[in-house]
Structures are given as structure tokens and as C-alpha cells.
Structure 1
Amino acid sequence: MGKKGDLSNFERGSIVGARRSGLSISKTAELLGFSRTTISRVYREWSEKNKISSKRQSCGRKSLVDVRGQMKMGRLIQDDKKATVAEITTRYNQDVQNTISERTARRTLKQMGYSGRRPHRTPILSANNRRLRLQFAQAHRSWSVGEWKNVAWSSETRFQLQRSNGRVKIWHEQEESLDPSPLGTQAQPAAMGLTVWGIFSWHKLGSLVSIDDSLNAADYLRLVADHVLPFMTTVYPSADGCFQQGNAPFHKDEVVSSWFQEHKNQFSVLHWPPQSPDLNPIERLWDVIEREIRVMDGQPTNLQQLREAVMSGWSRISEECFRHAVESMPQRIEAVLKANGGPTRY
């Protein structure tokens, strides 16, 4: 479908670049979404008059990223759609005289029609699990931020020496579909990494513990005894705290359930819906750590360096950050309600 109105310099440059690379008029039109007439006219104007500028009148300060710069940035995106803004900026600034900041790179990508979005991390949901998620959201829709402050959040996650599965944003254009790549729908290559468990609440950032990938009920029982109980009794001395955990088999093992029952006078356990990482604000903290690691000057090359980077990233999470994560709970609940129990983009 052709586009109406005058074309931007970037659009004209893209047309000329595609034609000069050997693409036919039809292929260029199909690739860029313009009519064949528009492709012919723009390329003819460039060939005959060396014209590549738009009729639009410029205003304000001249952009630091011109048409060629935008084309270079577009190539960087196509080469690595999982690159962070920091990585794109670094690569763009190589061998250029006028370097740009991350803020300029982010603004330019937005102007070019790119946005970063995560593939859905929530697994394909069964009808029953959608129902349970919806019931949870309906039951907690009226909860205020003050009530969510009484919840201590926990989760296990894995950081890899490369990028962590499912946590990386994918650059895509506005009209471009994004493969959700739901968890469990395709095999993932094995990679060296570090599995950790963490706990926090609106009031305090708690422990981050390196754990075995093969965590069982006995291991988890030691974990909650050593870290959950001290956290809950310290942060919620009035026994009004509520502990959140997932639905892994060892979370629901009889010996673990019995332990929580024994300590019910000190804190309660939140009844959590299955397959709901998008509801857990601790996911935002994992993202913060991931981003910090990926912009480090020296990337971790072994597990010890990765462990140090993850632990250091956790310790530097600001109070504002983890409190804001908890304060997002009403929006997370509303997103699940809007999705009728389905996955959300949180």
C-alpha cells in the first residue's frame, strides 16, 4: 500500500539505498511499503537531480543523526535485533566523527519507527490456568498499594553467560509482528549460567542466594528456614506479612507446606496462580540486573565473574526501583483482567 504525503529524508534515503543495492522497483515497493509509482519517482529524482531531501521544512536544531546515520542504525538493528540501546550506541559511534549519546540513539530509533518489546515470557496457558489467573486478579482487584506492601516477593531465575532466555527486548518496526516465543514451545540451546533465588518487599531488599538447578523440597525447606523466616519476622514483626512463592513442585511439597503451617502465626502465604511471572514484580529486578551486566565494559567470561556481577547488581538496586516495582501491582492486576486471565506484557 502506498503512503500519502511528502516523504521524510529517511524514507527517501531508504528507497534510493534499496534501488542502488540492486532491488527491483517491485521488490523495493514490497519491502518499504510504498507504491511502485513513488519508488520510481523518488529514484528518478535522485538519478536526475541528485535530490534526496524532503519538501518538509526543517525546524529546530539539526539532528545529530542524518539520513546516512539512520540507515547505519537500521543496519545495526537488522544485524542484532536483541542489542541494547547501549550496545547500538557503542557500535554506531565506531569510526564516526560526531558521536551520539544513548538518549539520542533511543530518540532516533523511535523516530525511525522502532520500539523494543519483549517476547511473551508466560507459557502457553491452559484454560484452567487462565481461569485461576483471572480469579486471582478479580480477588485482588480492590487491593491498594498499601496492601501490596505487606507482601514479600520471591522467585528463582537463571542468568546466562550470554543473554538470558526471554528477558531480552527485540527491536521491531511498528508494522512488524513479534514472535511471542512462549516458554516451552521450542528447545533452547544449553548454556552455562547461574541460578539464583531472591526475596524483597516494598520495605526492604532481601537476600539473593545462588542455588542448584536441581533444587528439591529439602533444599527449598533449608532456603526458607534460613532466609524467608528471618526476613518476614524482621520486616513484619506484627505478623501481618504475606509471603509469595511460585508453584514449582518443591514449593508445594508436603514437608514444605507443613513448615509454613507451623509458622502461620508469624506470616501467611499468598495463594499464587500458576504460570504468572508477569504478575510478580521481582521480574523487574531481574531485568535491572540483566541490563547492568550487558552494558559492563568487560562482560563476564566465567561463572565466578557472572556470580559477582549478579550479586553486585542486586546489591545496587535502589529503593526507588524496588518500591516502584511493588507499586506497579494494581496495573499488573488490571492487565490480567483485561487479558481475561491470559498473558500480559509485564
Structure 2
Amino acid sequence: MGKKGDLSNFKRGMVVGARRAGLSISQSAQLLGFSRTTISRVYKEWCAKGKTSSMRQSCGRKCLVDARGQRRMGRLIQADRRATLTEITTRYNRGMQQSICEATTRTTLRRMGYNSRRPHRVPLISTTNRKKRLQFARAHQNWTVEDWKNVAWSDESRFLLRHSNGRVRIWRKQNENMDPSCLVTTVQAGGGGVMVWGMFSWHTLGPLVPIGHCLNATAYLSIVSDHVHPFMTTMYPSSDGYFQQDNAPCHKARIISNWFLEHENEFTVLKWPPQSPDLNPIEHLWDVVERELRALDVHPTNLHQLQDAILSIWANISK
């Protein structure tokens, strides 16, 4: 690759054209805006080589990994995405006449467009669950935005009082690694937390219900009767609403299924594929609440304050 100051082939052609047209070095420099040295050098190179391409572009050490080597390295990446730079270099050098170092591997991978990134986390889905997710997608592939407006989404989430924030970074010197101001304290089990159940639809936020203990079928039945039923009948008086819930054991209990059967003329329970939290848009609301909690100027010091903060943040989420 040429240096930053190299002229493009087009500009070098302009220089040659000006000189061949009979202009002097000074006249060419004044016309094109280049220095007299540049005009002289470019025209002299053209006279000697008959080329208008930069001779500097061929300078520098030849790349040790050619197109064939890049294809070989690409196959190594495809075979093992989690391989370290050392492992990739070692595997590449096997059977090669000229070995390369890790720096060359890094440069080559960047030239090929590869960068080391943290993988996205997705649910572990079995073959059976994949088929059920595909059935769900095919059953709803023709739904319009107006159809999805009739869905009320729900889920439970747990917020910890204290948690280790992996996204926190600090500025410190090499010998300050154990300085109190450079430490992040952790508490076993996060110091306790608050479990909440919430729901929302296209039109508005629904209720957010704190769950004091483990959510069982009896507690969930009270949530369904006291919160889900009035929300669905109010938002969808024409009985065209869909209530979404996941396949947690308490959601599939017999008393819950019987209650939904008794009210099936008022709204419909959306059939949900297993292990599919990534399909539920309420996950974005939980992320909003989590971020707002971390951004508080005064962080909660007990579970009661944490619960109040969560309810306040939920109530202030804009449409």
C-alpha cells in the first residue's frame, strides 16, 4: 500500500499530460497545485518506466499470508469459533513451509474482517423445541401489526439488591489493583432480590405485581384473576385479545388451565413455544428497569427500597 502522500493514478496522469502538453515544471506545479519536486519526480518515473502508477505501492515486506492462506485461515475459524489467537496460529503453521507469528495472524484476521467479540447469549433449544418454534412462526407469519396490537405480554423477573456489573470499568495504575477505590464488592446471592410479575400491550403498560415468595399456582391464580382479567376485559372489550405467558410450571397448573377455560369467551391464551424468552418483547422492559436502577443517584440499601424503586421506574416508562 502506498504512503499517505502518494498521488493517485489519475493525478499522476494529469502531471504527465501537463508536461507532455509542453508546460514547464513550474507551470505544471502552478496549474495542478503540486510541488515542483513532485512534478519532476512523477514525470521522470513516467519517462523511465512508462507507467503512471505509484512505484511506492510495491514497497514494504510482502504479506506472508496470500489469498490461499486466507482461505485456509477462514476454514480454521469456521471449524472452531472459540479458538484463541495462539491456537489459530499453531494450527495454521502445521504443514506450512513458512510459519507466521501471532501478530501476522491478528493482522490477517482483521484484514479478512474478523474481530474478537463476546458471543450473544441465546436459550439452549433442543431439536423438538426448534420444531415448535418453527410451527409458532409459521402460524403467525401472516399476522399484521394490527394483529400483534391485540397481544398482552407477561413475564416474571428478579432484580438483585447487589450485583456484579461486568460492564463497569475503572481507571487505575498498575500497582493500584487492590486499592479500595478500585474494587467492586460482591455479596453471596446478590444480597437478596425482588421478584416481580408484569404485563404490557401495544396500548399501555399493565400492572407490576411484587411477588413476596416463590410463585406457585395458587399465587399465580390470584394474579390472573386480580390483574390479568380486568386488564384484558378493559383493553379488549370485543374479546379479541390474546394473553401471552410462558410455559413455567405454575402457568400450566390444572387450576390455571381451568380458569382460562372458564374465561375463554373473553380472551384467548396465546400458545407459546418452549424455551423462548427471546421472543417476548417484555424482556426489553426488564432491561429498561435494570438500567434505570443502575443509574439511580442513591442506590437502594434494602429490599423494601428496591421494590419501591422498581415500581416507580415501571410507572414512569413512557409509551
2:127 paired residue number: 127
1:152 paired residue number: 152
Whole-Å separation in 1 of the counterparts to 2:164 and 2:221 = 27
Matches within 5 A, 1:1-346: 30=103, 33-34=106-107, 119-120=120-121, 122-163=122-163, 190-191=189-190, 192-319=192-319
Q: Which has the higher contact order (CA 8 A, sep 6+)?
A: 1
| Conservation of the 8 A alpha-carbon contact between 1:153 and 1:201 | yes
* Cα shift at 1:213: 4.5
Q: What does the per-residue CA deviation read over 1:100-147, in whole Å, with 9 as the maximum and x for residues that have no partner?
A: xxxxxxxxxxxxx998x7841x43111111111111112111111110
Whole-Å separation in 1 of the counterparts to 2:308 and 2:256 = 30
Q: What amino acid sits opposite 1:124 in the alignment?
A: L
| Conservation of the 8 A alpha-carbon contact between 1:118 and 1:169 | no
Q: What amino acid sits opposite 1:218 in the alignment?
A: T
Structure number, greater radius of gyration:
2
> Which secondary structure does the structure 2 equivalent of 1:237 belong to?
coil
Whole-Å separation in 2 of the counterparts to 1:258 and 1:169 = 45
* Cα shift at 1:150: 0.2
How well do the aligned residues superpose, as a CA RMSD in angstroms? Answer: 3.2
Q: What amino acid sits opposite 1:193 in the alignment?
A: G
Whole-Å separation in 2 of the counterparts to 1:32 and 1:302 = 51
Whole-Å separation in 2 of the counterparts to 1:210 and 1:271 = 25
Whole-Å separation in 2 of the counterparts to 1:4 and 1:253 = 71
Tell me the TM-score normalised to structure 1 length.
0.52
Whole-Å separation in 1 of the counterparts to 2:282 and 2:163 = 18
Cα distance change, pair 4–130 in 1 and its aligned pair in 2 (3 A): farther
Long gaps (5+) in structure 2: 5-100, 109-114, 170-187
* Cα shift at 1:212: 3.6
Cα distance change, pair 292–32 in 1 and its aligned pair in 2 (3 A): farther
Whole-Å separation in 1 of the counterparts to 2:201 and 2:289 = 17
Cα distance change, pair 297–125 in 1 and its aligned pair in 2 (3 A): same
| Conservation of the 8 A alpha-carbon contact between 1:118 and 1:170 | no
Question: Identity percentage over the alignment?
Answer: 55
Q: Which 4+ residue blocks in structure 1 deviate beyond 2 angstroms? A: 3-6, 28-35, 162-165, 168-171
* Cα shift at 1:243: 0.4
Cα distance change, pair 5–119 in 1 and its aligned pair in 2 (3 A): farther
Cα distance change, pair 298–4 in 1 and its aligned pair in 2 (3 A): farther
Whole-Å separation in 1 of the counterparts to 2:300 and 2:148 = 36
Whole-Å separation in 2 of the counterparts to 1:287 and 1:4 = 48
Whole-Å separation in 1 of the counterparts to 2:285 and 2:209 = 14
1:96 paired residue number: none
* Cα shift at 1:254: 0.8
> Which secondary structure does the structure 2 equivalent of 1:250 belong to?
coil
